[in-house]
Amino acid sequence: MRKGRNPNGEYKIHRTALNAVAGPIEEARGLPNYFYVDPRAFACECKQVFAQGWTCAGFAKDAPHRGSLFPFEFAGMPLLMVRGDDNHINVFHNVCRHRGRILVDTPSTVKKAIACPYHRWTYSLTGKLTGTPHIGGPGQHSCADFEKNNVKLSKVRSAEWFGLIFIDLSNSAEDFDRYIAPLAERWRAFNGVPLIHTGADCTIEFALDCNWKLAVENYCEAYHLPWVHPGLNSYSPLEQHHNIVSQGYSGQQSTCYAPGVSDSVLNFPDAPNLPPFWESGAEYISLFPNVLLGLHRDHFFAVLIQPNGPGQTIERFEIFYFDEAVREDAYAAARESNRDLWQSVFAEDQDAVEGMQRGRHSPGFEGGLFSPAMDPPTHAFHAWTARALLNGRAVNNIAAE
């Protein structure tokens, strides 16, 4: 096969570079520019990274009620989140089994049936085909040669954790519990806490002109704090951040978290019965491949990284509190201040990640160097991605054990 004809074959010419990424940090180079700017590399990532294992795709709050339908796209693929009568969320490919129209165009809530706008075939909330109007001719809603009971929407394996919806497009990844176990164990003190989201004052969205990986790797590290976030660094300095590198995730731990966005607003209630670390501790973790998490004793946030081609990324930032009391008007100013604080911090990062993206067009850059002291979390993400690109996620998981 000619080089360049097969999107999967494309990255093979970068095997040497990918192997160098996955090597020891002292010798490693970062992922080459190709993986940040080239549509063929992005297609390869969609296949090797996003479609091969557990990937964050949305928030449980996107489908808030029984019967809620939430259409969304992930890596160019139309998907549909459905909250069933049992309050459980399922994810389906958002396409009608008849002639392939997108099944649901906009978020909505239905009582029982999901109806295709084209010829009105209907499906139950669990995806079974239930209605086929005129399928046997005008007025004939069934047909001897068509067994409707055998037809279902195409389902995507999914799981919910910490208010997030994860999908496994391959249908063959390890059990979700196994995927999430290292981080779930780390954060077990927060098991079962209520996650309270109060709407617009808990939501931020950023459209970034950069590759999705730059958003992830920038979040992993605290190295840039003094220069990119001088305000944040004044009360949460670099010296009080420590690297976290683990199986399937990396990031930073802060040991100087002081709740309270300002003296003039209420503090949020803490999650109950936390170990002493969380009194002044906080953790900021990139869970590979595409979700950024921040955990504090009084609030949690998650940033879903939605890749949209090699040079475009959407960040969906959602804040959650741990007590119903935060819904009260008394907390309105505090909620707004907290959202504004995170909005300004992430806006400071936008310039950095878009600057790195522009740098990826330079032939004078070949993946970059890592500081063995400051960049282990970034290198962990690069190495994880390189292994996924080289061998697929299933092999990656085994290699990490």
Within 8 A by CB and 6+ apart from 369, the residues are: 29, 30
DSSP-derived secondary structure letter, 50 = I
CB closer to ligand FES out of 101 and 224: 101
How far is Cα 313 from Cα 302, in angstroms, rounded to an integer? 15
- Residue 141 touches ligand FES, criterion: CB under 6 A: no
Residue 387 CB, shortest distance to Fe ion, in Å, is 25
The alpha carbon of 81 is separated from its chain's Cα centroid by a whole number of angstroms, namely 15
Residue 292 CB, shortest distance to Fe ion, in Å, is 10
State yes or no: cis peptide before 289, omega within 30 of 0. yes
Residue 98 touches which of Fe ion, ligand FES, none (Cβ within 5-8 Å per kind): ligand FES
CB closer to ligand FES out of 119 and 327: 119
CB closer to ligand FES out of 91 and 96: 96
Residue 121 CB, shortest distance to ligand FES, in Å, is 4
- Residue 204 touches ligand FES, criterion: CB under 6 A: no
- Residue 146 touches ligand FES, criterion: CB under 6 A: no
Residue 300 touches which of Fe ion, ligand FES, none (Cβ within 5-8 Å per kind): none
* Site residues, Fe ion (CB under 5 A): 349
Q: By C-alpha distance, which of 217, 252, 259 is closest to 379?
A: 217
CB closer to ligand FES out of 101 and 155: 101
Residue 165 CB, shortest distance to ligand FES, in Å, is 25
Q: By C-alpha distance, which of 144, 47, 62, 140 is closest to 107?
A: 62
Residue 178 touches which of ligand FES, Fe ion, none (Cβ within 5-8 Å per kind): none
Residue 73 CB, shortest distance to ligand FES, in Å, is 19
CB closer to Fe ion out of 233 and 385: 233
The answer to whether 242 and 381 are in contact (CB under 8 A) is no
Residue 349 touches which of ligand FES, Fe ion, none (Cβ within 5-8 Å per kind): Fe ion
Q: What are 308's two structure tokens?
A: 């949209």
Residue 96 touches which of Fe ion, ligand FES, none (Cβ within 5-8 Å per kind): ligand FES
CB closer to Fe ion out of 198 and 343: 343
Residue 218 CB, shortest distance to Fe ion, in Å, is 6
Within 68-127, which residues bind ligand FES (CB under 6 A)?
Answer: 96, 98-99, 101, 116, 118-119, 121
- Residue 148 touches ligand FES, criterion: CB under 6 A: no
Residue 101 touches which of ligand FES, Fe ion, none (Cβ within 5-8 Å per kind): ligand FES
The answer to whether 330 and 314 are in contact (CB under 8 A) is no
CB closer to ligand FES out of 56 and 104: 104
DSSP-derived secondary structure letter, 330 = G
- Residue 277 touches ligand FES, criterion: CB under 6 A: no
Within 8 A by CB and 6+ apart from 371, the residues are: 223
Per-state percent for the chain, helix, strand, coil, to nearest 5: 35, 25, 40
Single-letter amino acid code for the residue at 304: L
The answer to whether 320 and 209 are in contact (CB under 8 A) is no
Q: What are 257's two structure tokens?
A: 């978290």
CA distances from 53 to 7, 157, 289, 318, 364 (A): 19, 10, 9, 23, 34
CB closer to ligand FES out of 98 and 327: 98
How far is Cα 266 from Cα 331, in angstroms, rounded to an integer? 6
Residues of this chain that bind ligand FES (CB under 6 A): 96, 98-99, 101, 116, 118-119, 121
